[in-house]
Structure 1
Amino acid sequence: MFTTTALAMALPVAAHAADATPVTAPDVASDIIVTGTRTTGTKAADSAAPIQLLSSSSFQNVGQQDLTQILAQSLPSLNFQAFGGDTANLTLTAALRGLSPNDTLVLINGKRRHFTANLAVLGGSPYSGSAATDLSFVPTASISRIEVLQDGAAAQYGSDAIAGVVNIILKSSDHGGSLSTTGGQYYQGDGKTSQTSINAGFKLGDRGFINLTGEYKYHDFTQRGTCDRRYYTPTCQVRSDINPIDAAGVIQNKFAPNVNNILGDAQYSLFNLAFNAGYELTDGVQAYAFGSYGNRHASAYENYRRATRVSGVTSTGETVYPFPAGFNPREMLREEDFSLTAGLKGAIKGWNWDLSGTYGRDSVALYTVDSVNPDMWAQIQAQNSTLVTPQRNFYDGTISNSEWSVDLDVNKDFEVGLSKPITFAFGGQYRKDAYGIGSGEFGSYYSGGAQSYPGFSPSDAGVNVRRAEAAYVDFAIDPIKNLHLDLAGRYEHYSDFGSVYTGKVTARYDFSPAFALRGTVSNGFRAPTLAEEFYSSVNVGPGFVAGQFPPNSSAASALGFSKLQPEKSTNFSVGFVAHPAPKLQITLDAYEIRLRKRIVPSATIFGYDSSYTHNNGVVSQAVLDALHARGISTVDATSYAGINIFTNGADTRTRGIEATVDYASDFGSAGKVNWSIGFNYNQTKLQRIYPLPAQVTNTLDYSQSQLLDLNAQTGLTTATPRVKTIFNALWTMGRLSVNFRETIYGSTSQAVSYSGSGYGDGATVLRIGTAGITDLDIGYKVTKSVRFDIGANNLFDKKAPTVPNYNGRPTNGSNVYDAPYTFTPWGINGGYYYARATFNF
């Protein structure tokens, strides 16, 4: 497909070039870029690697002003996490090219941004294992533009740049600013959202600037699905076969009949501050600094607990139930995020240098609220003759992630008689990372802990540190006219797993001002995050217990698991850039990414499964012993008990095509239209799945032999759309603007298990067909300084498909009837409308 398309375009383009004058692509494509190249003055249209630019003006046409949403609605190769389970619902993320969010490196002004501490632990999700940069802490009003390099770049930037690089360039204006306020909600009437931001620039004397941004966002709960299948029939009638106390309880519950709120958005409030500053110390030396502070408070509902789930006996022998209507526990966090970069840069005799230091930290205090520790309360109740009010709120502990780095970058152009000077660049980095878990209060983890999310026990707690040193060289050469080569090499040494070498070769040849071919070959790596290596927790649900074991622990080693090693990648891409007509630009790039020892979350590895009819349900005694050794009670495991672990568990191959078309048309008095099409085809295949260690394997009659069950396999390969196309048209006429965007999502599917085990009972494949989602924004400038917008995302309220039932139960093992497919690429909530006012000064 790529070859025939390139040849078909090359012939008419070459003929056109004979009498054509050079043209540039419309709008932002002619801007100077700093990502993917160390050559000064490179334009996006001249890049040897595929790169897309988003200007701050394009943010205006997106209703939900979270940065992750803006990227997902603008880039065909980026997909947004629609829903997360447990604490993953409190920190949603996005991913490039169908890979893990951890495989995309985020930079701020070219400097590495730290990760969140909140690890997504959600088996089967394509976003599971994510501990990437939390883009919600970067206020959109602080951004001048975003450069997205869609190419492997580990040799240029280090770990994590396997899928690409997102470089966020902050505003540097020393005057003026803007004030914006937005409000909206979903068509269903929930998820009320508000945002207010202010940005202003100021002079620092006569040689400097400081640009300041403040932002506040609020988003309310949503709830999708209907009744809880444990207590209601599919028609939402209370079941006749349940305990009468529980039947009365669900009727009394304030959310009845939809008593289970687990499927929906978390509620959050978020406050951000950011600054960007620079000062010319001398004519050749500039000091600079930028940073941010963010504070988030968020909570998400978990599964409803019935009235009889918590009972006690008084000292006089009476049985009491403290929650006659049952209860709806929530997981809650209070998160602080901080980042600061300071540095000096300048030039000495043609040598450009940049020396900087960056410190970033994310700290998450976790709580379980509106819950109870049943065993602890029952012991207290047994000593009293009257009903004792249980403790409802528990501090579960704190997780934190910090990164400290020192960077030196040097480059110089040398004139050696070639068509252009050679750019020689070199530099190095020292980095220290730390990940810590602090234990919660005693009641949060004692005897199984509080319902829904037990706290971290002292055996989970600890601080783990990693050090890394890196050095790189980069040569940019034009050996003959119109041929550009970029050669990069990098060496890194990590204190926890040793040394890694990476390299990259990039080439571009311009046949004419209207047509160029380009391609890259590189190898890369991703160091496992410290969260993946050392995170430890327990998840207690209605009827199950699952322990998340850290792979770098003695317990994991005893079960036969090795310590995490870095992912290794090989990247190839080839493509073209064409300007077949004035104001028209077309790009197409085909790519392949081979990942070896990919870090994946295992499927649940079972110690006990009630559906297993042999050996009293014991699938692996070693797993049960490991749970008990960590002080994890399995008394609540009426359905199953098991563990999950991150491990180097698969080799994958991702192939795809990325294409863009940009055109600007002028209709005179009828206005102007900027047209764009973005297309991504992306297919990931599993080349190898690593076996389970012998200690936990059960192949006699249970088929527990692979790290990944069907749910986990399809989570990696088919749960994100293979095709995503974005059609965008921005019409402006005088003070009026209308932005129309149609996003076409290709089909997706995922295998789910009826019992939730994923091994013994087969699977049902849930499928979503091709769907189009329409977004519309209408803006009007009342004056040059005042603009109002109204609009809608998912204008026609396209709903997520709902899980079918089998024998009266949802086929994915969910407790909620009519639950939306949580992997729906456009989200589970339906249409969203909004209004915005913007004041420029």
Structure 2
Amino acid sequence: MKTLLLAGTALAATIAVPAVAQDTASSTAGQPDEQAIVVTGSRAAPRSALDTVSPVDVLSNQALSQQGTTEIAQALANIAPSIDFPRSAVVDGTDSIRPATLRGLSPDQTLVLVNGVRAHASALVNVNGSVGRGSSAVDLNTVPSVAIGQIEVLRDGASAQYGSDAIAGVINLRLREARSGGGASVSYGEYLSHVQTARDDRHVSDGDTTTLNGWVGLPLGAEGFLTISGEFLDRNPTNRSDIDPRVQPPRVRARFGDPEVDQYTGFVNAGIPLAADGWQLYGWTGYQYRDSTSAAFNRPSNNVNNVPAIYPDGFLPKIDVRSHDLNSAVGLRGDVSDWNVDLNISYGRNRLDFRTQDSLNATYGAQSQTDFYDGALIYDQWVTGLDVTREVPVGSGSLNVAWGAEYRREGYRIIAGEPASYNRGPLGGNTALAGGAQGFIGFQPANELEVHRSNVSGYLDLEYKPVEQFTVGVAGRAEHYSDFGWTANGKLSARYDFSQQFALRGAVSTGFRAPSLQQSYFTSTASVIQDGNVLETGTYPATSAIASALGALPLEPEKSTNLSFGGVFRSGHFSLTVDAYQITIRDQIGLSENIAATFSPQVAALLAPFGVQAARFYINGIKTRTRGLDIVANYRIPTASAGRFDLSLAANLNDVDVLRVPTNTAAGLDPAPLLFARSRILTYEEGTPETKIVGSVDWNLGRAGATLRGTYYDSVLQPGSTEASDLRTGQKFVVDLEARYQVLNGVRLAVGANNLFDVYPDAVPAALNSTGVTAFPFYSPFGFNGRFVYGRLSLEF
């Protein structure tokens, strides 16, 4: 397969472009699709992207698929400046379930919908030092790009319309709907890069990735459709570690980069009319299995937790995460007395099984096993929703009335691993040895739990259009959660079209995000020996006796106030949108620092009754203010002889300020331990680019086409414990290029390179990388793997 694609790539480079132009569909590979119909952000009649009251980016399947990646999160980040997808490493499960951010906010502050229905979150809690630390967000990569018709990104607060999480905005994944046709593609790519770390200079060829995907549309009756999509992904790991100076001879001993992934995904989307009066039964089911293996920090041979009898040269623990993800829904829609009614029920479930491989439990000595089952996390969600809409004539204008209700039930479960994954074995009395599996310790029986909660909500959404040029919307939503009670939110939005060319729009709203079950109940502990006593250290629920003793309180919802104002200008083939925003979030939830008994005698006295050495927990109290500007400009140049050019320039300017952090409220602590460190504050403020600009040119002429995209990333800060240990990525400009040619009718060959000029973030100085593991900042918004070269052969029928 690799030989075939590379040979085809060479052939494509030698084929001349035909002199006569032919009509081809717009690829929009480098820009939002403004002519597509938008349903997100309003329950009135669908509109084009330039006619919406709130800013919406519409990204077609072509824009997503004509890249070197099929990962939705990465493809979105490549196109949309407001979305960031840092490819973190050596942060345990987050290596495999990487979160994306919108407008620099937490990953769980963006609501994700599938066909307008709330998607379920991942079971993973991001508890380590990555962007999005403390969050538990939707894994966008559980839906393959081949199953997508288009994606709508609403860049505005929408909690009053959709409920919890829609603080930064909404991402609506609209599945492909087809009753005929189909397609398939095979792609192969790998990183061909020159790596320059603080201690090393080498050429690499790794991360080779093979992707097979396809879809087919089938008729259901006279008017119904059944669309089946599937994808297989096989990706080998990358390694951008530096030389380890602790070993002789000095050499690369760690693995810092993308995990190894084997992944299978299938989606079925269907709809069929039930009667001549317009009622339709619809639904979808998607399942993904992902086996992802990343590396922990390597242990040299002289490490106290190494057993030379097993690993005479030291060892590199691997963390294997096996994800089983289910996404399903069924619904019925139609008209009842001039009201359009949509009733649906959905179920989503994510199970993550953890294994530690190529490791050991040092407290078992030479008798230790090397592979461990560490336990599982499970999250599931039932949602039943009713949406009712009707457009009512009012004078010379119209009023769109929408109301509805929703019931949601969530569940969260932790399953313990096998005893050797967390136990202290026969050598456990040695205080120098760490118990449990090295690299990722297993969940203990004391960590096991199964919890549920439910919430009910109702909303009213009115959109009044007194004249053709003016639209004003009012929305309100109330929700009751079984764990913390009531919340209510509202939104006021308006748009005025001064002419066909120019319009102004704006909105003011309040929003909220309910604390996730993962944040409320996640617990993971490890046993340590101190002065002959077994003590625990770990993460505890805020409602636990241990956290309460340290000042923790039950979690409350985050609250936000969103302001936005912008304009739309269009003339002929040119369009421009500019939208300014301010998002103030109160009572934001964060994961506290570790509070150790060694901090003070008072803290030791509080922890002593529980046999705990150190603890951390989730806490409210962070206040942030985000101000920014989104600019999107597009220009189409159709020519008779040179083809059509689609030019796009989009920018996101974003500034996040932390205005307040929580302080410890435990009685008798003077001094009180720090709950939120400097590094956490700086991650909020500078962990994503303050400026990101994406410019692209998409060209089509007859059978040929190409996309050139350049992205500027402002410098991102990966904070250390002190200013001297801070890391910056530097200001970088990354270029992507893809060329396409239709070899035969329905057969297309593409060749391209992401990061064509092999750009890296600034390397970590040798003085800050004594182990050689983290050679580059993993907060980098464009990753740290260098140039990715690929070929793709696709078939349409």
Cα deviation per residue 1:204-260 (whole Å; 9 max; x = unaligned)? 12242110011111211111122335x24xxxxx3xxxxxxxxxxxx6xxxx72112
Query: d(CA) in 1 for partners of 2:483 and 2:67?
Result: 42
Q: Is the 8 A contact 2:750 2:792 kept in 1?
A: yes
Q: Which SS does the other structure have where 2:706 is aligned?
A: strand
Match of 2:736 in 1: 775
Cα deviation per residue 1:739-798 (whole Å; 9 max; x = unaligned)? 000000112223313xxxx6xxx6433223321000000111112301111101110000
Match of 2:175 in 1: 170
Distance 1:540 1:294, change over 3 A: farther
Q: Which SS does the other structure have where 1:105 is aligned?
A: strand
Taking the TM superposition and a 5 Å limit, the aligned residue runs for 1:152-163 are 152-163=157-168
Match of 2:341 in 1: 353
1:686 maps onto 2:658 in alignment: yes
Match of 2:281 in 1: 287
Match of 1:63 in 2: 68
Match of 1:110 in 2: 116
Of 200, 203, 219, which residue of structure 1 is paired with 2:235?
219
Query: d(CA) in 1 for partners of 2:289 and 2:702?
Result: 40
Query: d(CA) in 2 for partners of 1:169 and 1:292?
Result: 13
1:564 maps onto 2:551 in alignment: no
1:667, distance to aligned residue in structure 2 (A): 2.5
Q: Which SS does the other structure have where 1:670 is aligned?
A: coil
Match of 1:741 in 2: 709
Match of 1:519 in 2: 506
Match of 1:711 in 2: 679
Gaps of 5+ in 2: 1-27, 193-203, 425-434
Gaps of 5+ in 1: 1-24, 233-237, 239-250, 313-318, 379-387, 608-617, 635-641
Of 544, 550, 554, which residue of structure 2 is paired with 1:553?
544
Amino acid at match of 2:458: A
Amino acid at match of 2:480: H
Amino acid at match of 1:121: V
1:158, distance to aligned residue in structure 2 (A): 0.3
Query: d(CA) in 1 for partners of 2:756 and 2:175?
Result: 31
**Normalising by structure 1, what TM-score?**
0.85
Q: Is the 8 A contact 1:310 1:321 kept in 2?
A: no
1:627, distance to aligned residue in structure 2 (A): 7.4
For the aligned residue pairs, the C-alpha RMSD in angstroms reads: 2.3
Query: d(CA) in 2 for partners of 1:660 and 1:122?
Result: 35
Of 549, 565, 570, which residue of structure 2 is paired with 1:574?
565
1:565, distance to aligned residue in structure 2 (A): 1.0
Match of 2:260 in 1: 267
Amino acid at match of 1:427: G
Match of 2:599 in 1: 619
Q: Is the 8 A contact 2:447 2:525 kept in 1?
A: no
Identity of aligned residues (%): 36
Match of 1:828 in 2: 784
Amino acid at match of 1:527: A
Distance 1:696 1:796, change over 3 A: farther
Amino acid at match of 1:280: P
Taking the TM superposition and a 5 Å limit, the aligned residue runs for 1:93-492 are 93-123=99-129, 125-187=130-192, 188-229=204-245, 231-232=246-247, 238=248, 257-261=251-255, 263-283=256-276, 284-309=278-303, 321-375=309-363, 377-378=364-365, 389-419=367-397, 421-447=398-424, 448-492=435-479
Q: Is the 8 A contact 1:578 1:586 kept in 2?
A: yes
Query: d(CA) in 2 for partners of 1:566 and 1:838?
Result: 47
Q: Which SS does the other structure have where 1:71 is aligned?
A: helix
Query: d(CA) in 1 for partners of 2:97 and 2:606?
Result: 30
Query: d(CA) in 2 for partners of 1:734 and 1:552?
Result: 64
Query: d(CA) in 2 for partners of 1:697 and 1:459?
Result: 28
Distance 1:134 1:696, change over 3 A: farther
Distance 1:322 1:34, change over 3 A: same
Query: d(CA) in 2 for partners of 1:181 and 1:698?
Result: 63
**Normalising by structure 2, what TM-score?**
0.89
Amino acid at match of 1:277: A
Q: Which SS does the other structure have where 1:479 is aligned?
A: strand
Query: d(CA) in 1 for partners of 2:381 and 2:289?
Result: 18
Query: d(CA) in 2 for partners of 1:128 and 1:748?
Result: 16
Distance 1:118 1:625, change over 3 A: farther
1:130, distance to aligned residue in structure 2 (A): 2.8
Query: d(CA) in 1 for partners of 2:608 and 2:346?
Result: 42
Match of 1:246 in 2: none
Amino acid at match of 2:592: S
Query: d(CA) in 1 for partners of 2:701 and 2:331?
Result: 44
Q: Is the 8 A contact 1:742 1:774 kept in 2?
A: yes
Q: Is the 8 A contact 2:284 2:329 kept in 1?
A: yes
Q: Which SS does the other structure have where 1:712 is aligned?
A: helix
Match of 1:802 in 2: 763
Q: Is the 8 A contact 1:152 1:164 kept in 2?
A: yes
Amino acid at match of 2:121: F
Q: Is the 8 A contact 2:732 2:761 kept in 1?
A: no
Q: Which SS does the other structure have where 2:38 is aligned?
A: coil
1:473, distance to aligned residue in structure 2 (A): 0.4
Amino acid at match of 2:285: G
Query: d(CA) in 1 for partners of 2:602 and 2:293?
Result: 35
Match of 2:694 in 1: 726
Match of 2:21 in 1: none
Q: Is the 8 A contact 1:452 1:540 kept in 2?
A: no
Q: Is the 8 A contact 1:482 1:510 kept in 2?
A: yes
Q: Tell me whether 132-141 or 27-36 shows the greater mean CA deviation.
A: 27-36
Q: Is the 8 A contact 1:459 1:630 kept in 2?
A: no
Distance 1:795 1:426, change over 3 A: same
Match of 1:791 in 2: 752
Query: d(CA) in 1 for partners of 2:359 and 2:550?
Result: 33
Query: d(CA) in 1 for partners of 2:726 and 2:135?
Result: 24
Q: Is the 8 A contact 1:779 1:789 kept in 2?
A: yes
Taking the TM superposition and a 5 Å limit, the aligned residue runs for 1:2-81 are 28-81=33-86
Cα deviation per residue 1:269-315 (whole Å; 9 max; x = unaligned)? 11101011011111221101112001011111111123344689xxx
Amino acid at match of 1:227: I
1:394, distance to aligned residue in structure 2 (A): 1.0
Q: Is the 8 A contact 1:452 1:539 kept in 2?
A: no
Q: Which SS does the other structure have where 1:189 is aligned?
A: strand
Query: d(CA) in 1 for partners of 2:211 and 2:437?
Result: 34
Distance 1:724 1:629, change over 3 A: farther
1:766 maps onto 2:772 in alignment: no
Query: d(CA) in 2 for partners of 1:696 and 1:483?
Result: 60
1:399, distance to aligned residue in structure 2 (A): 0.5
Taking the TM superposition and a 5 Å limit, the aligned residue runs for 1:585-664 are 585-607=575-597, 618-620=598-600, 642-664=614-636
Query: d(CA) in 2 for partners of 1:697 and 1:686?
Result: 25
Distance 1:158 1:209, change over 3 A: same
Query: d(CA) in 1 for partners of 2:556 and 2:455?
Result: 15
Q: Is the 8 A contact 2:547 2:615 kept in 1?
A: no
Q: Which SS does the other structure have where 1:209 is aligned?
A: strand
Q: Is the 8 A contact 1:451 1:540 kept in 2?
A: no
Cα deviation per residue 1:105-129 (whole Å; 9 max; x = unaligned)? 1111100110110111113x33212
Amino acid at match of 1:823: Y
1:818, distance to aligned residue in structure 2 (A): 6.7
